[in-house]
Structure 1
């Protein structure tokens, strides 16, 4: 008898090491979906969401090849909160459907939803348990600047837009403090994985 896998939400601020953690869970054979990927799938050409976005914002949010012009759309919604909310209202339920369809196919006892905005977007409601990858803010800034060649101002602006550490941590069942090296981080992921395999429905 196949049981539906329970769903672990994995989140963390920018530069926390969330991607490295996600990759190690994949290496351990855990079925994982990235909400950012699902967000891209729902606006592909031919998907109803893209038509609605163009109808609302006009053709300037399209590239010549018919794909969504993300930077043009981003510029529009960052300048105007009501536009951003309109877009979120359209996309969040569709992204949720994509995620659930994908996770339902998991063969592992649990599956993972990775989302930088797990808490803010309400996607945590799709999960039974939440793992937060946490890192001291100074370290987040250093890592992100090194990775994206961005200025500390840009990184600070992104940090402000994401849920505060306190808010994220208040939703967490498990916290992985990533302030050491990769081998240590991977060992922590393996420890959590072993623990998660003992859980039923995400609860001890």
Structure 2
């Protein structure tokens, strides 16, 4: 039987990676949309050539790889540029994710994406799990992890879906405001529940 797909999302600093890693350690096939986004712009891939043509050669590092920081800076400043980039990359990323999900052999597979709601990727999954965290904690964790400024974290939060919007699409919510052992036990509880589901729904929840 083909595995059903769980979409896993959460804002920056919510702990999505820790959650995904623990699901993976339980034998669940996990595909990361951020990784897929990196694969499609690797040197030699057509998308990278188009990006360099559009933004100019200085968007590349001396090694020929994409200068992610420079690109992020450009698209944060200009909604039009962000739109152009999304229209180029989203279909490629979708195809890349589908290719990797097709390799899954676990009863269900997980697609991890910070922009699951914003990009419409939630339409590709059977069920949505949101890792939720109070905004103040998000900011504090991200500053500590990325050594970035509060201003930049808040700019990213603005681009990501509002917490309420994410929660509106959630079938399940994991509130990550405690420690790692607790988080792992919650992941295990959800995993056992997911193993009982067929196609991501249960008897009373056919989406």
Partner of residue 81, structure 1: 79
Once the 2 structures are TM-superposed, how far is the Cα of residue 154 of structure 1 from its aligned partner? 2.5
Once the 2 structures are TM-superposed, how far is the Cα of residue 42 of structure 1 from its aligned partner? 0.2
Q: Helix, strand or coil: the match of 2:9?
A: strand
Q: Structure 1: which 5+ runs fail to align?
A: none
Residues 44-63 of structure 1 mapped to structure 2, 5 A cutoff: 44-63=42-61
Q: Helix, strand or coil: the match of 2:6?
A: strand
Q: Helix, strand or coil: the match of 2:128?
A: strand
Distance 1:177 1:74, change over 3 A: same
Partner of residue 106, structure 1: 104
Partner of residue 157, structure 2: 159
User: Given the alignment of the two structures, is residue 35 of structure 1 paired with residue 19 of structure 2, yes or no?
Assistant: no
Two-structure CA RMSD over aligned residues (Å):
1.1
Q: TM-score, normalised by structure 1?
A: 0.95
Superposed CA offset, 1:98-155 (max 9, x none): 0000011001011101111111111111111000000111111221122122333222
Partner of residue 193, structure 2: 195
Once the 2 structures are TM-superposed, how far is the Cα of residue 89 of structure 1 from its aligned partner? 0.3
Partner of residue 149, structure 1: 147
Distance in 2 (CA, whole Å) between partners of 1:58 and 1:132 is 37
Give the length in aligned residue pairs. Answer: 202
Q: Helix, strand or coil: the match of 2:5?
A: strand
Distance in 1 (CA, whole Å) between partners of 2:72 and 2:113 is 18
Distance in 2 (CA, whole Å) between partners of 1:123 and 1:65 is 32
Partner of residue 171, structure 1: 169
Between stretches 68-77 and 172-181, larger displacement belongs to 68-77
Superposed CA offset, 1:141-178 (max 9, x none): 22112212233322222212211000000000000011
